[in-house]
A and B are shown apart, each in its own frame.
Chain A
Amino acid sequence: MSASWKQLLFQILLLVSCRRINTKTPGPTAPPLVPITSLPTDERSASLEGESHTEKVELLNPVNLSLACTWTGNQNKLPNITGFWRKDGDEVENSQVTVQLEGDQYKLKRVFSIVSEESLGSYSCVFGSEEAKIEFVLAAPQVGELRDKPIVSYVGDSGVIACKMEETKPKPITWNWYKANGTDKEQIFAVAEPLRYEIKNEERKTKLVVHNLTEADGGLYYCGAVYAISTTMSHVELRVISFQEPLKPFIAIVIEVIVLVAAILLYERCQAKKNYTAGNGTIDQTNTMTQGENIEPEESSSVRQRKI
């Protein structure tokens, strides 16, 4: 076990003193993996002065994670208090211990083996009977820049869906794509259907191209960022519509334009006829200028001046 004690020496101790109930950004990630036969260990701790606090922990690889809670207590500082751990709302078996008041603080600590996706989740240390609670949310890095609006594409067109992991977060091992099928997710294998699907993976970005779209291709698509510990998902909706949809407003607007232009030109013709039948030159010939007119600037023109 000397190797793991060496590990402990190199660990980062994270002490977050918090006076509000707001969450803080997660601390630095665990130190790089040193290849050893057993799982590496890591430690996270938080201290609480109020009633509850939530701490986000980002994990990439399986670890033995030691979570430590420190509570300053409330008004009546009992010498002994019970404390237990909870995972995702269910009490962890045999986790109930009696905590002594040491130096005006209660300390609770436990080591958890985080090996797979099931081990991730919300771990809470609870003091007394719900008097104080610190929650550690264990998760793999989430895909950022979620697109909440659906991507609209057309039948026969190629739809492109992209996912991106932020620069500040660690890059995933690879990316997977899934299509929602009812409540399940079916993985998309581009190799199996190269004419239909194309997956372009870069380190932090991934693109799924669906060729020759049909209405059935619409729905939710999930991109999964694969890490050693689990795969984080994010979803985008693809809507496939036919060409008739934009055609309706298009035709409506074209009809409106034709009607307006016809109306304006008809009105003009009516006006011109009215002017003509009322006699040449006696009424304002605003639109015409007879050829033989003198156009010297000094002379007032023979075009009848219109009253403004």
Chain B
Amino acid sequence: MSPAPGSDLGYKPLDGGWGWMVVVGAHISIGFAYSTPKVLSIFFKEIQENLGASHSEIALISSIMLAVMYAGGPVSSVLVRRFGSRPMVILGGLLCAVSMVAASFGNSIVYLYLCIGIIGGCGLSLNLNASLTIISKYFLIKRPLANGLAMAGSPVFLCIMAPVNQYLLQKFGWRGSLFIFGAVMLNCCVAGALMRPLVPPRRPSTCAAQKNVEGEPNECNTKQKRSGMVNAKTFLDFTFFKDRGFVIYLIGNIMFIFGAYAPILFLSAYAISQGVEEYSAAYLLSIMGFVDMFVRPGTGLIASSKWIRPRIQYFFGFAMIFNGTCHLLCPLIKCYAFLVTYAVFFGVGFGMVFALMFECLMDLMGNQRFPSAVGLVTIIECFPMLLGPPAAGLLVDFDDYKYLFFMCGSVIVAGGVFIFVMNIYNYHMLEKEKPAKVREQNQMSVENQDQASASA
């Protein structure tokens, strides 16, 4: 049903073996990337008291970290393509560790913005991009499952690091905790060590030797041309916008990200406003995270199945619609038992979307274009991610919480419907264009065989 751009790898990916260790590495790396901005907020109250900063100044640390992590996408994709995943994840881990250790000696808020926000954010952005890229290199058939397992790192690390950070804070205060947290982030280097590179660095000598022998453009150059590699110097490749599937994905994703995070931020506040006590309200988020942990690999498993895999873009749209519908139904819920049910379904929806998010991009773009694509997607996603929660917050100030849920739910449902419907159109158009493309490929293969026979 869907075209198979993933087969442009040029070799049959492992789909197992050491690949599963790479998934473990990606799990750790992605776990740190997504959970760190959230778990750092545990330290904020003490930092605020010690440095005498205001609430908004402190909250900006997390926002800067997230923004840099997403905005650093293009740069990290270039670096990952040039140097491979392993050095980048190790470098990312070192950067994060250095940033946390340096921050523990800080005495002003601006210094923390620089250390945790900017340097830490850069480290995390390297981690994220490199981990996703290497999964696409190691897996094809079982790739959705691998992606689901890797993305599950986010809720798992959130659940682990939150109590660990609380404990560290009580025992060592905020400075000691940041210091030790820096060491913990060094485990990203372990994750990087697991990411065994697949392709050795290119050997230009062989190509040069061949060129001398033949005196005409040889296989090396045609290989480059055929794989369609974009010049490593371009950070933002705007030719992606010509790809229909990419644009559809991007628009749907922007709408999802805009509405995705606000309900998480305001869930406990909403529960408290409905009369639930504070401790139980905080428990709702833990329930959501716990469910998320299992849903992500589960979704990956389902998406790997024969029936869903070709229709994965539709599954993605469905997951978004499910998530949005949950939010739309939330304001109707008043009692705690139903709020727990909402938290469970929210976790399911959220996990499904995130497990499929990068898998769908890989499915659309193929392995060669994926690193640049993911960089472009993350930098564009920066904007809805930063604008969404404040916009929702404005709605809360304006009136009841219910408008927040209506807004988020409707935006997400609209995004899901858009993806669903537009993909029907996209596949229809691709079917039409297929005969032309097959003809073109046959022509190129004939050319290549001629050259091969000539050089033999």
Residues of A bordering B, CB below 8 Å: 149, 151-154, 157-158, 160, 162, 207, 239, 241, 245-247, 249-250, 253-254, 257, 260-261, 264-265, 268, 286-289, 291-298, 300-301, 303, 305-306, 308
Say yes or no: B179 contacts A250, CB within 8 Å.
yes
Contacts of A303 in B (CB 8 A): 11-12
Among B169-177, B238-246, B330-338, the stretch that binds chain A is B169-177
Does B16 reach chain A (CB closer than 8 Å)? Answer: yes
B149-187 vs A, Cβ < 8 Å mask (1 yes, 0 no): 000000000000000000000111101110110111011
* CB of B123, distance to nearest CB on chain A (Å): 15
Tell me, in angstroms, the Cα distance from A90 to B8 when the chains sit together: 92
Tell me, in angstroms, the Cα distance from A287 to B193 when the chains sit together: 14
Contacts of A249 in B (CB 8 A): 180, 183
Residue from the set A160, A265, A297 with the largest chain B CB neighbour count within 10 Å: A297
Q: Which residue from chain A places its CB closest to the CB of B10 in the assembled complex? A: A295
Tell me, in angstroms, the Cα distance from A157 to B106 when the chains sit together: 11
Q: Which residue from chain B places its CB closest to the CB of A252 in the assembled complex? A: B183
Sample (17) of A-B pairs whose CB atoms are under 8 Å apart = A152-B170, A153-B173, A239-B173, A246-B172, A253-B184, A261-B190, A265-B193, A286-B17, A286-B18, A286-B198, A287-B198, A293-B11, A294-B448, A294-B452, A295-B11, A298-B445, A301-B11
Q: Which residue from chain A places its CB closest to the CB of B174 in the assembled complex? A: A152
Across the interface, B196 reaches (CB within 8 A) one of A153, A154, A254, A268, namely A268
Contacts of B52 in A (CB 8 A): 160, 207
Contacts of B8 in A (CB 8 A): 297
Does B237 reach chain A (CB closer than 8 Å)? Answer: no
Say yes or no: A160 contacts B203, CB within 8 Å.
no
Query: Known: A152-B173, A253-B184, A295-B223. Is A306-B179 also a contact (CB below 8 A)?
Result: no
Across the interface, A306 reaches (CB within 8 A) one of B16, B196, B207, B227, namely B16
Does B435 reach chain A (CB closer than 8 Å)? Answer: no
Does B194 reach chain A (CB closer than 8 Å)? Answer: yes
* CB of B171, distance to nearest CB on chain A (Å): 7
Residue from the set B15, B219, B227 with the largest chain A CB neighbour count within 10 Å: B219
Tell me, in angstroms, the Cα distance from A230 to B202 when the chains sit together: 81
Tell me, in angstroms, the Cα distance from A249 to B182 when the chains sit together: 11
Contacts of B207 in A (CB 8 A): 291
B1-40 vs A, Cβ < 8 Å mask (1 yes, 0 no): 0000001101110111110000000000000000000000
Contacts of B50 in A (CB 8 A): 158, 160
Tell me, in angstroms, the Cα distance from A105 to B388 when the chains sit together: 64
Q: Which residue from chain A places its CB closest to the CB of B194 in the assembled complex? A: A264
Q: Which residue from chain A places its CB closest to the CB of B219 in the assembled complex? A: A292
* CB of B344, distance to nearest CB on chain A (Å): 32
Does B424 reach chain A (CB closer than 8 Å)? Answer: no
Say yes or no: A301 contacts B193, CB within 8 Å.
no
Query: Known: A257-B187, A257-B189, A261-B190. Is A287-B17 also a contact (CB below 8 A)?
Result: no
Across the interface, A246 reaches (CB within 8 A) one of B18, B176, B226, namely B176
Say yes or no: A287 contacts B187, CB within 8 Å.
no
Say yes or no: A241 contacts B172, CB within 8 Å.
yes
Does B199 reach chain A (CB closer than 8 Å)? Answer: yes
Tell me, in angstroms, the Cα distance from A254 to B184 when the chains sit together: 8
Does B247 reach chain A (CB closer than 8 Å)? Answer: no
Tell me, in angstroms, the Cα distance from A254 to B206 when the chains sit together: 41
* CB of B197, distance to nearest CB on chain A (Å): 7
Contacts of A247 in B (CB 8 A): 179
Does B220 reach chain A (CB closer than 8 Å)? Answer: yes
Q: Which residue from chain B places its CB closest to the CB of A209 in the assembled complex? A: B52
Does B215 reach chain A (CB closer than 8 Å)? Answer: no
Tell me, in angstroms, the Cα distance from A249 to B186 when the chains sit together: 13
Does B440 reach chain A (CB closer than 8 Å)? Answer: no
Does B200 reach chain A (CB closer than 8 Å)? Answer: yes
Tell me, in angstroms, the Cα distance from A257 to B306 when the chains sit together: 40
Does B49 reach chain A (CB closer than 8 Å)? Answer: yes
Query: Known: A295-B223, A295-B227. Is A261-B193 also a contact (CB below 8 A)?
Result: yes
Say yes or no: A286 contacts B175, CB within 8 Å.
no
Tell me, in angstroms, the Cα distance from A241 to B170 when the chains sit together: 12
Say yes or no: A306 contacts B17, CB within 8 Å.
yes
Say yes or no: A149 contacts B196, CB within 8 Å.
no
* CB of B214, distance to nearest CB on chain A (Å): 13
Say yes or no: A254 contacts B183, CB within 8 Å.
yes
Query: Known: A246-B180, A253-B180, A294-B452. Is A264-B173 also a contact (CB below 8 A)?
Result: no
